[in-house]
Amino acid sequence: MSTVEETRQGGAGPAGTAGDGQARGADEVAAHAARLDSAMARIAALEESARTPFADAKEALDALHKAGLTTIVRRLRDDDRGRELLYELVDEPGVRMLLAMHGIIRPDPITLATSAIDRMRPEVEDAGGRVELVTLAEGVATVRLEGVGSGCSPTAGRLRERVEQELHAAVPGLSRVELARARPEPTLIPLDQIRVRARGGHDVEQGLREQGWTAVLTADEISGGEVRSVTVDDGGREVSLVVVNRSGECTAFVNECAHQGLPLDDGLLDEEAGTLTCPWHGLCYDVSDGECLTLTGGRLEQVDCQVAAGQVWVRPEGR
């Protein structure tokens, strides 16, 4: 695969995600990239003496383009008005591919890690397991690997090593990979046992706390279609979260938009579409997993969330 082809696949994003205009733009980019790939292939087939002038010209032209593009991006980024325009331009497939080809923009670490996990997913699923990225912060990736037996089993050990290798190869600066605690299996709790403390035992709430969960709201405090912000203590550090109730299903995310880190608690929740729209600049997120539907590679940081014993519980897991 050529450098142009790799850039096109890694930078343009899925066609049509931002409307017909972006889809047409992606098609045009693909056509131009194909022509360039074809031309580069013909040059590569020439004798070395014939290739050298082409290589020198391309290197000089690339350097000229990169210098000009770098100046444009720097000026836009340093201007309050230009910064918003720059974010919009980067969403255009042609602009994104051009900047990526010259190394001016690169996928963020979470996007790189998510892509690595996606590449591993078929292998893990073939073994009857599941794998997902939980968090990525300060050079540490936390991954949940479930359904492949105990951590000492040959299969679990092999897959864990494969996931670690894939992540280290994909994410520059990654220092280590940690395994998240397995999710507790769903348990049917008889109604007459809820909030009942057995003599000499622990109630349901105590059991959840021992597993690292924190109660942040009562179930009555967040109805279907509502969004609430809460603050939890995470290892001595306060973290702001946003809890979303879509038709009785609660999810929670770090309360920071992927665009500029602004809070989302006044965002618009569309229960039917399953989306949360940022109140500041209109970025739209899937409330099931935090994926940004309007900014390629953007994603909210999701935290574990469940409703039990009449309360909403979250587990940040040391972000």
Give, for all 319 residues of the chain, the pLDDT tens digit.
444 444 444 444 433 444 455 556 667 777 877 888 888 888 888 898 888 888 888 888 888 988 888 888 888 888 888 888 887 887 777 787 788 777 777 667 887 888 889 888 998 888 888 888 888 887 888 888 887 654 445 777 788 888 999 999 888 888 888 887 655 545 554 555 455 444 433 577 888 888 889 999 998 899 999 999 999 987 777 889 999 999 889 999 999 998 888 899 888 898 888 899 888 888 889 999 898 887 767 889 999 999 988 899 999 874 4
pLDDT of 251 reads: 94
pLDDT of 23 reads: 58
pLDDT of 153 reads: 53
CB 36 within 8 A of CB 4: yes
Domains defined for the chain, CATH in brackets: 34-102 (no CATH), 109-179 (3.30.300.130), 201-315 (2.102.10.10)
Full-model pTM: 0.41
DSSP character string of 203-259: -HHHHHHHTT-EEEEEGGGS-TT-EEEEEEEETTEEEEEEEEEETTEEEEEES--TT
Amino acid found at 275: T
pLDDT of 183 reads: 55
pLDDT of 21 reads: 56
- 3-class SS at 139? coil
Closest CA to 180 of 149, 146, 213, 209: 146
pLDDT of 202 reads: 52
Distances (CA, A) of 102 to 6, 70, 97, 106: 13, 9, 9, 10
